[in-house]
Amino acid sequence: MTDAHAAEMAALADRFFGAIEAGDIATVADCYHADAVIWHNDDGLETTPAQNLEVLKAYVANVPRREYANRRFFAIAGGFVQQHDTTLHLADGRVRVLPVCIVFQVDGGKIRRLDEYLDRATLQRWAGEAKAG
Protein backbone atom coordinates (compact mmCIF):
# COMPACT_ATOMS: atom_id res chain seq x y z
CA MET A 1 0.00 0.00 0.00
CA THR A 2 1.37 3.36 -1.00
CA ASP A 3 1.53 6.59 0.94
CA ALA A 4 -0.59 8.16 -1.81
CA HIS A 5 -3.34 5.57 -1.24
CA ALA A 6 -3.26 6.16 2.51
CA ALA A 7 -3.45 9.93 1.99
CA GLU A 8 -6.36 9.58 -0.47
CA MET A 9 -8.26 7.35 1.96
CA ALA A 10 -7.58 9.70 4.89
CA ALA A 11 -8.87 12.65 2.85
CA LEU A 12 -12.05 10.75 1.97
CA ALA A 13 -12.58 9.76 5.61
CA ASP A 14 -12.10 13.36 6.74
CA ARG A 15 -14.48 14.63 4.06
CA PHE A 16 -17.15 12.02 4.85
CA PHE A 17 -17.11 12.37 8.64
CA GLY A 18 -16.62 16.13 8.51
CA ALA A 19 -19.74 16.40 6.34
CA ILE A 20 -21.80 14.36 8.80
CA GLU A 21 -20.56 16.46 11.70
CA ALA A 22 -21.51 19.61 9.77
CA GLY A 23 -24.88 18.21 8.70
CA ASP A 24 -23.84 18.55 5.05
CA ILE A 25 -25.89 15.78 3.46
CA ALA A 26 -24.98 16.85 -0.10
CA THR A 27 -21.29 16.23 0.58
CA VAL A 28 -22.04 12.88 2.19
CA ALA A 29 -24.03 11.96 -0.94
CA ASP A 30 -21.09 12.97 -3.12
CA CYS A 31 -18.83 10.58 -1.19
CA TYR A 32 -20.95 7.59 -2.20
CA HIS A 33 -20.54 5.61 -5.39
CA ALA A 34 -23.87 5.44 -7.28
CA ASP A 35 -24.06 1.69 -6.60
CA ALA A 36 -22.91 1.85 -2.98
CA VAL A 37 -24.21 -0.53 -0.35
CA ILE A 38 -24.52 0.53 3.28
CA TRP A 39 -24.85 -2.24 5.89
CA HIS A 40 -25.30 -2.01 9.67
CA ASN A 41 -24.74 -4.88 12.06
CA ASP A 42 -27.62 -3.82 14.31
CA ASP A 43 -30.30 -4.70 11.73
CA GLY A 44 -28.34 -6.75 9.16
CA LEU A 45 -29.93 -4.89 6.25
CA GLU A 46 -28.21 -3.56 3.16
CA THR A 47 -29.39 -0.12 2.10
CA THR A 48 -28.81 2.22 -0.81
CA PRO A 49 -27.20 5.64 -0.61
CA ALA A 50 -30.66 7.26 -0.98
CA GLN A 51 -32.01 5.27 1.96
CA ASN A 52 -28.94 6.04 4.04
CA LEU A 53 -29.17 9.74 3.28
CA GLU A 54 -32.77 9.80 4.55
CA VAL A 55 -31.58 8.25 7.82
CA LEU A 56 -28.75 10.80 8.01
CA LYS A 57 -31.20 13.67 7.45
CA ALA A 58 -33.25 12.48 10.43
CA TYR A 59 -30.07 11.97 12.46
CA VAL A 60 -28.93 15.53 11.77
CA ALA A 61 -32.41 16.90 12.58
CA ASN A 62 -32.63 15.00 15.88
CA VAL A 63 -29.05 15.28 17.10
CA PRO A 64 -28.04 18.96 17.03
CA ARG A 65 -24.32 18.24 17.38
CA ARG A 66 -22.38 15.15 16.34
CA GLU A 67 -18.70 14.42 16.82
CA TYR A 68 -16.45 11.58 15.79
CA ALA A 69 -13.90 11.47 18.60
CA ASN A 70 -10.91 9.23 19.27
CA ARG A 71 -10.61 8.37 15.60
CA ARG A 72 -8.42 5.42 14.74
CA PHE A 73 -7.88 5.33 10.99
CA PHE A 74 -6.31 2.48 9.03
CA ALA A 75 -5.80 2.52 5.27
CA ILE A 76 -6.26 -0.97 3.83
CA ALA A 77 -6.09 -2.38 0.32
CA GLY A 78 -9.19 -1.13 -1.51
CA GLY A 79 -10.35 1.24 1.23
CA PHE A 80 -10.01 2.01 4.90
CA VAL A 81 -11.24 1.20 8.38
CA GLN A 82 -12.13 3.74 11.03
CA GLN A 83 -12.92 3.14 14.67
CA HIS A 84 -14.26 6.07 16.66
CA ASP A 85 -16.57 7.18 19.42
CA THR A 86 -19.69 8.79 18.02
CA THR A 87 -20.50 11.54 20.49
CA LEU A 88 -24.11 12.67 20.32
CA HIS A 89 -25.02 16.01 21.89
CA LEU A 90 -28.79 15.80 22.26
CA ALA A 91 -31.24 18.72 22.30
CA ASP A 92 -32.08 18.09 25.97
CA GLY A 93 -28.41 18.53 26.95
CA ARG A 94 -27.62 14.84 27.35
CA VAL A 95 -24.44 13.51 25.78
CA ARG A 96 -24.27 9.93 24.53
CA VAL A 97 -21.19 8.08 23.31
CA LEU A 98 -21.40 5.09 20.99
CA PRO A 99 -18.29 3.12 19.98
CA VAL A 100 -18.32 2.33 16.24
CA CYS A 101 -16.11 0.61 13.68
CA ILE A 102 -16.72 1.05 9.96
CA VAL A 103 -15.07 -0.79 7.09
CA PHE A 104 -15.09 1.14 3.81
CA GLN A 105 -14.52 -0.27 0.34
CA VAL A 106 -13.59 2.50 -2.08
CA ASP A 107 -13.73 2.53 -5.88
CA GLY A 108 -12.65 5.52 -7.94
CA GLY A 109 -12.44 7.77 -4.89
CA LYS A 110 -16.05 6.98 -3.88
CA ILE A 111 -17.42 4.74 -1.14
CA ARG A 112 -18.60 1.53 -2.81
CA ARG A 113 -19.50 -0.32 0.39
CA LEU A 114 -19.74 0.69 4.03
CA ASP A 115 -20.08 -1.91 6.79
CA GLU A 116 -20.88 -0.29 10.14
CA TYR A 117 -20.41 -2.18 13.39
CA LEU A 118 -21.76 -0.60 16.55
CA ASP A 119 -22.36 -1.74 20.08
CA ARG A 120 -25.90 -3.12 20.10
CA ALA A 121 -25.87 -3.41 23.91
CA THR A 122 -25.42 0.35 24.18
CA LEU A 123 -28.39 0.94 21.88
CA GLN A 124 -30.52 -1.49 23.91
CA ARG A 125 -29.53 0.24 27.15
CA TRP A 126 -30.53 3.62 25.67
CA ALA A 127 -33.87 2.18 24.56
CA GLY A 128 -34.48 0.81 28.07
CA GLU A 129 -33.64 4.17 29.62
CA ALA A 130 -36.06 5.91 27.23
CA LYS A 131 -38.88 3.53 28.21
CA ALA A 132 -38.14 3.95 31.92
CA GLY A 133 -37.80 7.73 31.68
72-102 residue pLDDT tens: 999 999 999 999 999 988 888 888 899 999 9
In whole numbers, what is the pLDDT of the chain averaged over residues? 92
Question: What are the chain's domains?
Answer: 3-132 (3.10.450.50)
Given this model, what pLDDT does residue 95 score?
87
Given this model, what pLDDT does residue 42 score?
86
- The reported pTM is 0.90
Beta strands in 1-109 (DSSP E): 32-40, 46-47, 65-76, 79-89, 95-107
Integer-rounded Cα radius of gyration of the chain: 15
- Strands 110-118 vs 32-40: parallel, antiparallel or unpaired: parallel
